[in-house]
Amino acid sequence: ISEEILDIKRCDLNIKSNNSSHHTELYGEERLIVRRGQPFVIVLRLNSDSKDFKLGPLPRKQSGTKFTFSLSDHTVDTEWSASAISNSPRNTVSVSISSSPNSPIGVYSLTVDQEGQKTSLGQFTLLFNAWCPGDAVYMRSEPERQEYVLAQHGQIYRGTCKRITGTPWNFGQFEQGILDICLKILDENPKFVSDADKDCSARRNPIYVSRVLSAMINSNDDRGVLTGEWVNFVGGVHPGLWIGSGDILRKWAKSGPVKYGQCWVFAAVACTVSRSLGIPCRVVTNFGSAHDGNANLVIENLYNEDGERIDSGDSIWNFHVWVDSWMTRPDLGSEYDGWQTSDPTPQETSDGVCCCGPASLRSIKEGELTKKYDAPFIFAEVNADVVDLVRQSNGEFVKFSGSTNSVGRFISTKAVGSDKRDDITHQYKYPEGSKEERKVYERAKHNNKLQQQGEVPGLHLKIKLSDNMMVGSDFEVYAVLTNNLMEARTCNLMFFAKAVSYNGRLGESCGFTSDKVTVPAGEERRVSLRLKYDSYGSVINSDRLIQLSAIAINKQTIDYHKAEKTIVLDAPEIKIKVRMDGWMDGWMDGCMDGWMGRRKKLRNLFMSNLCVVVELPNRTSSKFFLNLVDTLILKVNIKKVRWCLCVSVNVCVCVLCVAVELSTIQPPKSFCYQVETLTQLISTWLVVSV
């Protein structure tokens, strides 16, 4: 490529060959339609410096709706890039352009910018790419991609468990104008209207797009595609008369919400839009489908004493139809990748609007109902228990029968590559009658309750404190592990204590313990850490702060939990009494039995001395005691001070006795004065030193 600015006469978007290699030729040859993460080639009748792509009303680099990149030697499959292809014919430049497999889908305009001189090259539409391993909708199998993205004809199953009938449906995702209508549905979505930039940016994510579609296919809360009607079809088309999605979508584009739809029509239109945008999708029919109005996973059939039904808000439909879409679930974890159910039929509200899903089939099958979105509702559709209750004259309901296996049967979809019915019940639940099915049901009820209480299932770690955390004493703190799961969990728990300063800077360690802890279902276990003055006394500073942190790890279940707490130690309450030796003598007799050998000496000492009794709180450690004595000696700083120490075990009171020779504090003119001064002095020393 020459460095001078080139005059681009014309740009050939190579629609036919690009659309063919991007599996989009069925949309027609009028426009360039490519899939994410796969290069396409355009031919310039001449040159450039950089390329510019724009999407949405206000393209912004920060939102990922505008990309600028220079022409380079080669393209990179995982990001927007462009390179010139050598050996182009004379006066032409072939440019290979790659897009990121994480780009928002939609219509882009392609502009070449040569030192500020911009030339528009045309537009292209970018779609999800089931053929690209880097795309969230990647599907490994070619026959499945053919069926779930490219097949335009489907079978929709209806009827009853005993008599299942399939009727053909024309999805028509490649019919003239349908792709534009599908993009228009995204633009009609209230989230786009309130924040277009954010909505366009989120269109990179098939989870987001599926959820938007489950809201936009019905006309509740918005100008969605279809209005649901189950009783009176005057003024519209009876839902049973539709045979394809094309007519419905075109009608909507022309004049707004279309009358009327029922579950299979909502689902079939959702499938058309998903396939058109490139998300692999299938229509699924569930027989004996529960509608659990009060979200308790039980369908309650209520009767009065005359055997008449009382409305409970719960019901079981002969069949119900929804869609499954294929995508990864980075928001839930890779085990939830794959098929995701979303239900466009307006039933219950979620986040304030009539939408439902996507919920991973895996979370439904395993009863993990706290996993987004709307898993409890979908779980109930396929596996609620049924209970028949009669209302007695006293108003109480009594159960008289029930069933655990009548809801969710023969879950069906069209088989890949044929018109046969594929029973996919096993993808939604364990076999009725199996132990696993009951276990999952119990787990589902448990998780449903947690969800309703706003709790997260799993292990929870907290730090609890004791109430006598005083400098000088030893005390215990606890790491408490609570398990609100239905099965026991085992963890390695580590519990650390470190001195910390008020600005958060961590100091030295002053305590550690670790243990392997098994917490039974619904219980708690605590690991205690004893904080000893011997350990923390020398590392804490005058802020008296200790940071506690506990970590619980289970590598197998990938459980990591952390709890932290900073504690402030209380200053000990120290009582100081200065006594005359006569009193001391008697007192000493009571508590110094173990010191017999030195008793005589002490007695002599006290006989002629003033005694200071420093009374420390219960449970003060002896080390603290000794430190205090050292401090006192240091502060008095008179060689002639003598001291002794005793601990009264009987009364659990620590007493420090300092015997001071009277002569060291000037001969007493007034003895009372002496006592007061000394008390004051010692108090000051202690406050400073504690």
Question: What is the spatial distance between Cα 381 and Cα 359, in angstroms, rounded to a whole number?
Answer: 13
State both tokens at 690: 């504690």
Measure CA of the first residue to CA of the last residue in the chain; give whole Å: 79
Residue 437 marked in a binding site: yes
Give the active site residue among 22, 291, 320, 561: 320
Q: How far is the CB of 403 from Ca ion (least distance, A)?
A: 8
Q: Which residues in 197-216 contact Ca ion (CB under 5 A)?
A: 215
Give the active site residue among 263, 491, 611, 644: 263
Q: Toward Ca ion, which CB reaches closer, 292 or 474?
A: 292
Burial (Cβ within 10 Å: 0-12, 13-18, ≥19) of residue 667: exposed
Contact 40, 69 (CB under 8 A): no
- SS3 (DSSP) at 90: coil
Q: Toward Ca ion, which CB reaches closer, 31 or 391?
A: 391
Contact 313, 330 (CB under 8 A): no
The DSSP code for 256 is S
DSSP notation for 379-419: HHHHH-EEEEEEE-TTS-EEEEEEESSSSSEEEEEEPTTSS
Task: Give the length of the chain.
Answer: 690
| Interface with Ca ion, residue 222, by CB under 5 A | yes
Question: What is the spatial distance between Cα 537 and Cα 245, in angstroms, rounded to a whole number?
Answer: 77
Whether 652 is catalytic: no
Q: Toward Ca ion, which CB reaches closer, 404 or 451?
A: 404
| Interface with Ca ion, residue 188, by CB under 5 A | no
Q: Toward Ca ion, which CB reaches closer, 8 or 268?
A: 268
> Hey, what's the torsion of the CAs at 116, 119, 122, 125, to 10 degrees?
-10
Binding string, residues 402-431; x marks residues near Ca ion by CB under 5 A: --xx--------------------------
Question: What is the spatial distance between Cα 615 and Cα 638, in angstroms, rounded to a whole number?
Answer: 23
Question: What is the spatial distance between Cα 210 and Cα 207, in angstroms, rounded to a whole number?
Answer: 5
Whether 351 is catalytic: no
| Nearest residue to the partner Ca ion, using Cβ | 224
User: Torsions phi, psi of 496, nearest 5?
Assistant: -115, 145
Whether 446 is catalytic: no
Task: Choose, by CB under 5 A, the member of 20, 70, 78, 294 that binds Ca ion.
Answer: 294
Q: How far is the CB of 159 from Ca ion (least distance, A)?
A: 21
Q: Which stretch binds Ca ion (CB under 5 A): 70-78, 294-302, 388-396, 410-418?
A: 294-302
State both tokens at 433: 């009658």
Residue 383 marked in a binding site: yes
Q: How far is the CB of 272 from Ca ion (least distance, A)?
A: 16
Q: How far is the CB of 455 from Ca ion (least distance, A)?
A: 21
Binding string, residues 352-391; x marks residues near Ca ion by CB under 5 A: -------------------------------x--------
Task: Choose, by CB under 5 A, the member of 56, 64, 224, 457 that binds Ca ion.
Answer: 224
Strands (E), 555-684: 559-568, 575-580, 609-616, 642-648, 653-661
Q: How far is the CB of 359 from Ca ion (least distance, A)?
A: 18
| Interface with Ca ion, residue 324, by CB under 5 A | no
Q: How far is the CB of 221 from Ca ion (least distance, A)?
A: 5
Task: Choose, by CB under 5 A, the member of 296, 482, 528, 554 that binds Ca ion.
Answer: 296
Give the active site residue among 222, 292, 314, 343: 343
Q: Toward Ca ion, which CB reaches closer, 363 or 621?
A: 363
Q: Considering only CA atoms, which of 27, 611, 591 is closest in space to residue 275?
A: 27
| Interface with Ca ion, residue 345, by CB under 5 A | no
Q: How far is the CB of 215 from Ca ion (least distance, A)?
A: 5
Element (DSSP H or E) covering residue 345: none
Q: Which ranges of 421-500 would DSSP assign to H, the alpha helix?
A: 425-428, 435-452
User: Please, which residues bridge with residue 359 across strands?
Assistant: 341
| Interface with Ca ion, residue 220, by CB under 5 A | yes
| Residues that bind Ca ion in the complex, under the rule CB under 5 A | 215, 218, 220-222, 224, 292, 294, 296, 298, 314, 383, 404-405
Residues marked active site are found at 263, 320, 343
Task: Pick out the residues of the known binding site for Ca(2+).
Answer: 383, 385, 432, 437
